[in-house]
Amino acid sequence: MDGDCGLNNLCATYKCTTGTCMNTFVKSGEGNLANQAGDCKKNVCDGMGGQTTIADGNDLPNDNKVCTKDMCSNGAPSNPPLSNTTSCGTLSTCDGAGACVCSDPHACDNVQCGAITNGCGVQVTCPNKCTGVNTCGGSGNPHTCGCTPTAHALDCGYQCSGIKTDNCGNTKDCGSTDCQSLCPAACETKSCMDSFCYCAGSCTS
Mean per-residue pLDDT for 80-108?
90
The angle formed by the CA atoms of residues 10, 55 and 37, to the nearest 5 degrees, is: 70
Asked if residue 23 lies in contact with residue 15, where contact means CB atoms within 8 angstroms, the answer is yes
Burial class (CB in 10 A: 0-12, 13-18, 19+), 20: exposed
Residue 205 has pLDDT above 60, yes or no: no
71 Cβ partners below 8 Å, 6+ apart? 60, 61, 77, 78, 79, 80
pTM assigned to the model: 0.50
Q: Are 119 and 110 in contact (CB under 8 A)?
A: no
Q: Residue 5: what pLDDT?
A: 94
- Kindly report, residue by residue over 16-51, the tens digit of the pLDDT: 999 999 999 999 999 999 999 999 999 999 999 999
For 181, phi then psi, to 5°, come to -90, -20
Q: What is the pLDDT of residue 204?
A: 65
